[in-house]
Each structure stands twice: as C-alpha cells, then as structure tokens.
Amino acid sequence: MDTAKKKDKVSAGLLMYRTPAHKLEVLLVHLGGPYWSRKDAGAWFVPKGGIETGEDEFAAARREFREETGMQPQGPYLKLGSIQHKSGKRVVAWAFRGDCDPAALRSNTFRMEWPPKSGKFQDFPEIDRAEFFTVELAAKKMHAAEFAFVEGLERLLRDS
C-alpha cells in the first residue's frame, strides 16, 4: 500500500476479545521486523494500520485486521473511541467477539533494507506473532496508550 495515500498520523484497528470462563481476554499483535524482535513489554498492540485517503475509518479498521492477521473479522462491533500516542498519532478502534488460534494467523509483509546501509533488502512480516492476554497481562504487555481500549471494552461489557 502506498503510504503517501494514507492520512497522516491516523490509524484504525479492531480489538478481538473472548470471555472463556467469564474472564476477558484480548487478542494483541507483536510488530514484526528487526527493530521489535527482542522487545516484549510495551511492544504488543491492537491490530491496526493507516487509513487511505478517502477511506472510512471503520472500513480501514476491518481491512487492516484482515491484512495483519489473515482473518476475516465478524461483528457486531463495539466502538471504543480513540486515543493519542505520545508521537501525536491518533488511533481509533472497535471491538468484536471472536476466537482463533493465534499461532495460525498470518500477516502481510513489508520490505526494508537490512542491515541498514547494506544494500540488501529483506521481507519481514508486519506482525510476527499474536496472542490472547488477560486484562492484567495486557496491562504489562501493551503499548501504554492503547491499553485504554481494553479498559473501555471492559466498561462496555460490564455495563451491557
């Protein structure tokens, strides 16, 4: 996808959740590529990506989920609102109930020069793994700004 066609600093995503034994678990993804390979705490995110110019945020969220997991999301969807990263990037997200085998998910790839300035290019998965986490563990693993989506989902489910 041509990044020049994306709206700057806005991403949209979907947070899949399940409730085995009435305990909320959320599906998070770990970014692929050499810069993230050894990071864990703070390196797990809601599956999301950029919004193309003229694209609806919700349509972008569903497309990005498919691209990053290889899975077709199924509603109904709950709007979680938006958050802002320290970098200024705004992320808007929705949640949906679902289940999967995280090890079976497959992401699209990106190409980059690696090692830097080597003239050699390699393909890396956008997402190198996915996993379901309880709320308590998600608080430790997730990027801090995006944990607000999990808290919002918890409130929506409790109040419904």
Domains and CATH numbers, the chain: 3-159 (3.90.79.10)
Express each pLDDT in 96-116 by its tens digit: 999 999 999 999 999 999 999
CA distances from 12 to 62, 92, 93, 120 (A): 8, 5, 6, 32
Strands (E) located in 58-142: 77-84, 90-97, 109-113, 121-125, 127-134
Q: How far apart are CA 72 and CA 76, in angstroms?
A: 13
Strand partners, 110: 124
- pTM of the predicted structure, to 2 decimals: 0.91
Within the chain, what is the greatest distance between any pair of CA atoms? Answer: 55
Question: Read out DSSP for 47-64?
Answer: SEEEEETT--HHHHHHHH
pLDDT digits (tens, 9 = 90+) for 33-92: 998 888 999 999 999 999 999 999 999 999 999 999 999 999 999 999 999 999 999 999
- Can you read off the two tokens belonging to residue 16? 């899949």
